[in-house]
Amino acid sequence: MLASGTAYIIAHDSEKKLDYIDYSMEVLKVENATTLPKPPEFQTIYISGGKKNKLNKIDVVGFFSQKGKLEKGDLGLIEVKDFISFAAVKFNKVKDLLHNIKDEKMKGKKFKIEVARKVIKKEED
């Protein structure tokens, strides 16, 4: 809290202005940038089951490999929480994966499996 230094805010003109930021400060333009960052290699998949549903990482890997027809390099980080799980799948494999597992059961139970979406909490006016 008492440290000193420089802080940078990366914001686009179309973003909502925040009341705690002084927008009259110096602006560093980056419009001369020649390259954009690479798009993400993986997409996050949501699974409606977790540890409390007796799911673990091995179950997800096995299910996605056998029923989803994914190969070893197509899967990234897998996180299993208490009631939900997330798995990183290569972007170009997601559509086929979801099609292949559409009516399949994992460990004898049907789970909702879909592309994870960002939840945005709306400000109350």
* pLDDT > 80? residue 61: yes
pLDDT at 74 over 80: yes
Q: Could you give the CA distance from residue 84 to residue 51 in angstroms, rounded to a whole number?
A: 8
The more confidently predicted of residues 8 and 113 is 113
Confidence at residue 122, expressed as pLDDT on a 0 to 100 scale: 60
Tally of helices (H runs) and strands (E runs) in the chain: 2, 4
Q: Give the CA radius of gyration of the chain.
A: 21
The three-state secondary structure class of 41 is coil
Lay out the sheet containing 75-80: strands in order across. 75-80, 85-90, 42-47, 113-115
Q: How far apart, in whole angstroms, are the C-alpha atoms of residue 20 and residue 103?
A: 49
**Residue 125 pLDDT > 60:** no
Q: What is the pLDDT of residue 25?
A: 84
21/7 Cα distance (integer angstroms): 12
Gap between the Cα atoms of 59 and 109, Å rounded: 12
Tell me which of 36 and 83 has the higher pLDDT.
Answer: 83
Give the burial class of 86: count Cβ atoms within 10 A of its Cβ; 0-12 exposed, 13-18 middle, 19 or more buried: middle
Please tell me which residue, 93 or 34, carries the higher pLDDT value. 93
pLDDT in the model for residue 35: 77
Q: Is pLDDT of 121 > 70?
A: no
CA 44/CA 91 separation, integer angstroms: 9
